[in-house]
Structure formats: C-alpha cells, structure tokens
Structure 1
Amino acid sequence: MAIHKLKYVVVVLMYMVVIIAPVAKADVDCGQVVSFIAPCINYLMNGGAVPGGCCDGVKNLVLLAQTTADKQTACNCLKAQAAAISTFKNANGEALPGKCGVNLPYKISNSANCDNIKF
C-alpha cells in the first residue's frame, strides 16, 4: 500500500513540475535596450569617437541579457532600431562591442540573424 501511495505522489509531483515549469520568456524589453544604446546613436550614424556613456550602456546590455531569450530579444530590438535609422552604418554597429571591450553573440546590424543565437 505504501509503494502505491509513493507512486501516486511521484506522478502528482511530475504533473506539478510540468504545469508550473516556467516558459522561456525574455526578461529584457526593447525599452531597456533602446535606453542602453541611446548614448551610442551619434556614433552608430557618424562614427568617430565612442562616448563613454555609450560603452556603459553596451556593457549593461551584456550584463542584463544573459539567457538565450534575452539575447534574442536584445538582438531583435537592436536590429529594428538599426533599420529605423536611415543613416545607421552597419560597420559602426558591428565595431561597437569591440570598441567597448565586450563580446556580443550577435551583430548590431539591420541584417543580424537573431534566431541563430544559442546559449
């Protein structure tokens, strides 16, 4: 009888895990991404020196976007912003992380493939 009850408890717990298990959801939103990158807009359009506040934003973005979902969300937001700025220069976007001393698993570009990001 005790083994039967134990099996029942295990089955119930398994169902609870499946029902309660979190769905992959990004904790990063586009508003955060845009606010982090806002100090970089002049550089992204015109090149030249990278403002200190810009690198702070890029570094904060790297710290914030830790999961695959977060990185894909950040990438898609940056891609959309790049596409929305007619004078955006992909070369500047792609060079920005290196100039700030960070590594992003995606390009800051209007042609980034955000779906390929895996973590």
Structure 2
Amino acid sequence: MMNIMKSVAIICVLGIFFMPRYSESAISCSVVLQDLQPCVSYLTSGSGKPPQTCCDGVQNLAAATTASADKKAACQCIKSVASSVTVKPELAQALASNCGASLPVDASSTVDCTTVG
C-alpha cells in the first residue's frame, strides 16, 4: 500500500513538471517575464540586433499569446514592468520584428492594453 502511494505521489510531481507551460486560460506574468528577461539589458542599453536568447524568449512568448486573454494579460504585464525600467523606445518598438516574431504589443510602458485582442 505504501509503495502505491509513493508511486502516485511521484506521478503527480512528474505531471506538474511535464505539464505544458501555457495551459492556463491566460498567460501568467511570471511566464511573460521569464520569456523577456534576456531582453532587459538589450532594451535598456543595447543597440543593433537583439541577442539570440532574447529572440528565443520573444518567439516563445509570441507562440504563447495567440488567444485574446493571453494577449491582454501579456500586455498588462509588459506595461507594468516597462514602467519601472527605462527602455529605449526604438528598440522596444522593433523588438518583435527584429526577432522575426509578432507580439501583440511593444515592450513599452505607453502601450494601450484596451486595444489588444
């Protein structure tokens, strides 16, 4: 009986680790931040093309924000974080296109999230 309970517990723990990252109804801000974290130094003091790790995160985020609820949640998160960091506006506006992706919003504190959908 104890071995069965241990097996069930292990299966439950493994299930948590192997669940799809974006299975929630709306993407969480922590996931958005995780994807965009490699872009922070580029957006604040970089130039030219973003680093590949940044573009990987941008592309992951773009793939995860296809539903309207995800787009709005990502927008609110990006807007909130961008207001506490000074980013170069031209880099924020061009980030997605420079990474070959399409994000619902620019990485900017001035974006209007009510128009995202």
Provide TM-score, normalisation by structure 1.
0.72
Aligned length: 93
Structure 2: gaps spanning 5 or more residues: 1-23
What stretches of structure 1 move > 4 A for 4+ residues in a row?
A: none
| Aligned sequence identity (%) | 35
Looking at structure 2, the residues matched to 104 and 27 of structure 1 have their Cα atoms a distance apart, in angstroms, of 15
Is 1:74 matched up with 2:74?
Answer: yes
CA displacement 1:69-100 (0-9 Å, x = unmatched): 10010011111111011x32222111100100
Measured on the aligned residues, the alpha-carbon RMSD in Å equals: 1.4
Q: Which has the larger radius of gyration?
A: 1
Q: 1:40 offset after TM fit, Å?
A: 0.4
Structure 2 letter corresponding to 1:81: V
Structure 1: gaps spanning 5 or more residues: 1-24
- Is the 1:30–1:73 contact (alpha carbons within 8 Å) kept by the matching residues of 2? yes
Provide TM-score, normalisation by structure 2.
0.74
Looking at structure 2, the residues matched to 44 and 62 of structure 1 have their Cα atoms a distance apart, in angstroms, of 17
- Is the 1:90–1:110 contact (alpha carbons within 8 Å) kept by the matching residues of 2? no
Looking at structure 2, the residues matched to 44 and 26 of structure 1 have their Cα atoms a distance apart, in angstroms, of 29
